[in-house]
Amino acid sequence: MGPETVAALFGLGGTIAGAAASTGAVIWQQRKAALEAERAHLLGLAEVAGNEMIRLSYEIETHLAEGVPDRNSSAYFTWISQGEELCRAVEEQALRFHDKQVRDLLARCHAEMYIRPEFVADPDGWPPRFRTISDDFRNVMGTVLRRQPLPCEVWEHYPNPS
């Protein structure tokens, strides 16, 4: 092999190495951009859901503050139905949060309101349970919107169901 052939092979090898490095860099950059876009999308969903949860917290508080109608009246069944709709809305919004702790907390609040609406609406306790739940919704959603860690003290209100 002559010196020209060796030089040509070195040139070809350099070209192939450069092409491989360039292609690898482009693929890496595309994956990074896709991950950043997905992260931005998830944060956007969480922000919209957080704002909707704050709005729902006021609606839930108003609904439960009305008190429990007489069990034998049609108003009672309307009240229960409206409460179930609000619980479904909470459950729907909870699916949009990436953070498992936030989803778990919302699931516990949802379960308490869905399973024991009359207890939650009872105004005799101080503070009434519905006020605690509504305040916790707003506090947690505030931390989500500010991208801060979940406040630890909120878990004291919702012990592990197991």
- Dist. CA 48–CA 27, nearest whole Å: 32
Locus of tokens 């429990």: 68
Tell me which amino acid residue 96 is: R
Q: Is 95 exposed, middle or buried (0-12, 13-18, 19+ CB in 10 A)?
A: exposed
| Tally of residues, the chain | 162
Q: What is the pLDDT of residue 84?
A: 92
Query: Is the Cβ–Cβ distance between 109 and 90 less than 8 Å?
Result: yes
Global pTM exceeds 0.85:
no
Residue 116, SS3? Answer: coil
Q: Which two tokens stand for residue 50?
A: 């957080």
pLDDT of residue 161: 60
pLDDT digits (tens, 9 = 90+) for 41-96: 877 888 888 899 999 999 999 998 888 888 888 898 999 999 999 999 999 888 88
